[in-house]
Chains A and B, each alone.
Chain A
Amino acid sequence: MNEVVYNIPAFRVGAYKERPLIVRSSDPAEWIRSLSDETLDHVVYLQLLSISADLDPLMHWGEGVPIELVVQDPTAEFPLLYDCTNLLDRHPVRVSIPLTRGFDQAAKLAVSLQFAVRLRVTQPDSLPVDALRNILHFYLHHSTASQPIDFIHSLFFAFHDEEPVTLWEIQEEDPARFRFVDDQGSEHLPGRLAQTDFEGDKALFLDPFKKTVRMPESECSDCPFFQNCGGYFKWPDPHYRCDGIKPLLQMLRDAAEELRSDLERYDQQNTGDQP
């Protein structure tokens, strides 16, 4: 069984020794002060909450430790990614972008600068589906898009490999795998679930939720994507209609199946195996 990964503030590192950690801060210098080499061995990645922070300390420290740059306001902040490109010389870097206005430009620029991307899904009622379709098309069909854009990328490979990986896992919001620790030290469910009061076993939180959204007659009950979605877009509003999302998932699955089929045909042609 995989260990739980804790997203903690940098100043609480001492309380989470030898556990897999996402260590967040707005100031890179704080990591340098608080993380020993031993602790760094347990760091899954460092999460920088402000992309306008002074990045110089990271140029000569913790080489190879992955970093996630958190964009808060895509429209205002996306050009600042140019100031972060030197980080790529020393670290694998992913840019985390909320699915709000301007996210598509931010994602496109991030990929163009060779950053990996994670799109943070926020409130379903504000999902900018058209922009998401554009970025999906960019990921699938532009030869210059050579970096992963998650959740799209991991879901594409889940479809391609026919793996039952869910969006909750891809987005690091599966409570069985991830936890969020606030500045006061209280442990919460991860990501969008963090505001939820839940007294039971956090690792099991999603089981009743999935059952609820999959009740007979519900939209999820006969959804062909449920295996990989797990009702992800039904949070927090379980009545959110996925009419805009499902065609995008279908487009992604069609592309994954087309690739699988092409590769199989190529293998057959080159090995002489006939179907």
Chain B
Amino acid sequence: MTGDHFSIILLSTLKCNADCDYCFENKTSDRLTIDRLERMMKKVLNYMEEQDITALTIHWQGGEAMLLPPTWYQQAYERIGTMADARNKQVFHGLQTNMLLYHERWNPVIAEMFENSVSTSVDFPNLHRKVLGRGPEDYNDIWFRKVRQARDAGIDVKVISVPNQGTLDIGAERFYSRFVDELDITDFQINTPFPGGDANADTAGMPLDVNRLTRFYLELADLWLEQGYDRGVKIGPFDELLKSFSHEEACLPCIWADNCANHILAIDARGYVAQCDCWVTSYPEYFFGNIFEAKSFSELLRNSKARRDFQARPITLMQHDCIECDYLSLCHGGCPVRTYTVGGSMFEKDPYCHLYKSLFKHMEEAAAQRARQTVARRSAACACAQ
């Protein structure tokens, strides 16, 4: 992992106040203490110095990250800032939370530490997200109330949504209108579902029917292009794909990184290090090691056989049909965890390959069409001016 920047998903606690049916995490009561956070950060900053890396982004999540109080994050922010300043390193912070415990006491730390922005999750219809011991309706009620409060406080709330069978049944139009028109959610991302963790009745239906999910994605993309794009609505991954095909700088999701092992890592509250949050919470056999036990972070990464498997994945995939794909540069075989959780091996291409290819082609055509329209509009404007 090199370059000027790298990212860590840091699970400050493995405890959660929600009980979502499809959650892949093995929840425990472990939580990170400030002292252990300092020890962890010392090793991370040593690594950054060794690798000449200037900046780090920490994506805080859980379990449920807000189960630790705002004062804890304030302390963490100050300690990390002091340690980073002493090494002339920059650290940025992001927060992924279910928002169920949000209240106004969070506002100062969200403003200072997280640049007044949080990311949360909601599905439509909500079939699987539940508050512990209660149903999806209760989850929705609390979530909407808390999000409204946060927005009223001026916080930018970004949303991740995972389509389910019900989403496919209601269709893209209803989904779009619910998010954008009714809930005024204008910055959200659609993630494909995968059956991570222990199998249960809800994960048994995953992956969703790829053809139906593809149709949903393409219809949603069209709705966004027709109704949302010019109004400033952002829907990932459509917005970044449109930028990419328009030859603008784009930030595509990690599932399409050339090799995610080069860009991101996850560390849980116990210090275990793995490729991302799903691996670190569900698959101990794929741990890279424990940062508290390792002599150094560099040594942990260098000696990890599991990490070498991740690094070898795209090399293996290129010996199959991915090399023939027109969209190789965008995808590189897709997401290891989606692949592993569906087929039991990460050395295959992503099970949503058909969806990705269809979406790439669709957005490529959309970008070309928009470019043609722009040229035509400019030419028409010039003709009128003459």
Q: Does any Cβ of B come within 8 Å of A99's Cβ?
A: no
User: Of residues 360 to 386 in B, which have CB atoms within 8 Å of A's CB atoms?
Assistant: 364, 367-368, 375, 378-379, 382-383, 386
Contact A144 B2 (CB under 8 A): no
Q: Does any Cβ of A come within 8 Å of B28's Cβ?
A: no
Contact B364 A143 (CB under 8 A): yes
Q: Within the assembled complex, what's the spacing in Å between the Cα atoms of A33 and B383?
A: 63
Interfacial chain B residues near A89, Cβ < 8 Å:
2-4
Contact A59 B259 (CB under 8 A): no
Contact B329 A59 (CB under 8 A): no
Q: Within the assembled complex, what's the spacing in Å between the Cα atoms of A154 and B364?
A: 26
Q: Does any Cβ of A come within 8 Å of B328's Cβ?
A: yes
Binds A, one of B65-73, B161-169, B180-188, B312-320: B312-320
B6 → A minimal CB distance (Å): 10
Contact A144 B326 (CB under 8 A): yes
Known: A79-B314, A82-B259. A144 touches B327 (CB 8 A): yes
Interfacial chain A residues near B367, Cβ < 8 Å:
143
Contact A82 B258 (CB under 8 A): yes
Contact A86 B383 (CB under 8 A): no
Interfacial chain B residues near A143, Cβ < 8 Å:
245, 247, 364, 367-368
User: Of residues 295 to 338 in B, which have CB atoms within 8 Å of A's CB atoms?
Assistant: 311, 314-316, 318-319, 323, 326-330, 332
Contact B326 A142 (CB under 8 A): yes
Interfacial chain A residues near B368, Cβ < 8 Å:
143
Contact B386 A272 (CB under 8 A): yes
Known: A79-B318, A86-B262, A105-B323. A113 touches B2 (CB 8 A): no
> Interface size for chain B: under 10, 10 to 19, 20 to 34, or 35 or more residues?
20 to 34
Contact A85 B258 (CB under 8 A): yes
Q: Within the assembled complex, what's the spacing in Å between the Cα atoms of A80 and B383?
A: 53
Known: A85-B258, A89-B4, A108-B323. A270 touches B329 (CB 8 A): no
Contact A109 B328 (CB under 8 A): yes
Interfacial chain A residues near B378, Cβ < 8 Å:
270
> Interface size for chain A: under 10, 10 to 19, 20 to 34, or 35 or more residues?
20 to 34
**Cβ-defined partner of A146 (8 Å) among B2, B247, B379, B386:** B247
Q: Residue on A with the closest CB to B317? A: A79
Interfacial chain B residues near A108, Cβ < 8 Å:
323, 328
Interfacial chain A residues near B330, Cβ < 8 Å:
144
Contact B318 A109 (CB under 8 A): yes
Interfacial chain A residues near B332, Cβ < 8 Å:
112
**Cβ-defined partner of B382 (8 Å) among A111, A146, A269:** A269
Interfacial chain B residues near A145, Cβ < 8 Å:
329
Known: A89-B2, A266-B375. A272 touches B258 (CB 8 A): no
Interfacial chain A residues near B375, Cβ < 8 Å:
266
Contact A85 B259 (CB under 8 A): yes
Chain A interface, DSSP helix/strand/loop, else mixed: helix
Interfacial chain B residues near A260, Cβ < 8 Å:
none
Q: Does any Cβ of A come within 8 Å of B149's Cβ?
A: no
Q: Residue on B with the closest CB to A104? A: B323
Q: Does any Cβ of B come within 8 Å of A130's Cβ?
A: no
Q: Within the assembled complex, what's the spacing in Å between the Cα atoms of A80 and B323?
A: 13
Contact A83 B327 (CB under 8 A): no
Contact A90 B311 (CB under 8 A): no
Q: Mark A142-155, 1 if CB is under 8 A from B, else 0.
A: 11111000000000
Interfacial chain A residues near B247, Cβ < 8 Å:
143, 146
Q: Within the assembled complex, what's the spacing in Å between the Cα atoms of A111 and B332?
A: 12
Q: Residue on A with the closest CB to B380? A: A269
Q: Mark B1-26, 1 if CB is under 8 A from A, else 0.
A: 11110000000000000000000000
Q: Does any Cβ of A come within 8 Å of B82's Cβ?
A: no
Q: Residue on B with the closest CB to A61? A: B52
Q: Mark A81-93, 1 if CB is under 8 A from B, else 0.
A: 0110110011000
Q: Within the assembled complex, what's the spacing in Å between the Cα atoms of A78 and B326?
A: 17
Q: Residue on B with the closest CB to A88? A: B3
Q: Does any Cβ of A come within 8 Å of B88's Cβ?
A: no
Residue of A59, A82, A145 contacting most chain B CB atoms (<10 Å): A82
Interfacial chain B residues near A86, Cβ < 8 Å:
1-3, 262
Some 30 contacts from A to B, beta carbons below 8 A apart, are: A59-B51, A59-B52, A60-B51, A78-B323, A82-B314, A85-B262, A86-B2, A86-B3, A86-B262, A89-B2, A89-B4, A90-B2, A90-B3, A105-B323, A108-B323, A109-B323, A109-B328, A112-B329, A114-B329, A143-B247, A143-B364, A143-B367, A144-B327, A144-B328, A144-B329, A144-B330, A146-B329, A266-B375, A271-B382, A272-B382
A79-B319, A82-B318, A90-B3 given; name 11 further pairs at CB < 8 Å: A60-B51, A78-B318, A79-B316, A86-B262, A89-B3, A89-B4, A90-B2, A143-B245, A144-B327, A269-B379, A270-B382
Q: Which 6 residue pairs spanning A and B have beta carbons closest together?
A: A112-B329, A89-B3, A79-B315, A79-B318, A144-B329, A112-B328
Interface residues of chain B, those whose CB is within 8 Å of chain A, are 1-4, 51-52, 245, 247, 258-259, 262, 311, 314-316, 318-319, 323, 326-330, 332, 364, 367-368, 375, 378-379, 382-383, 386
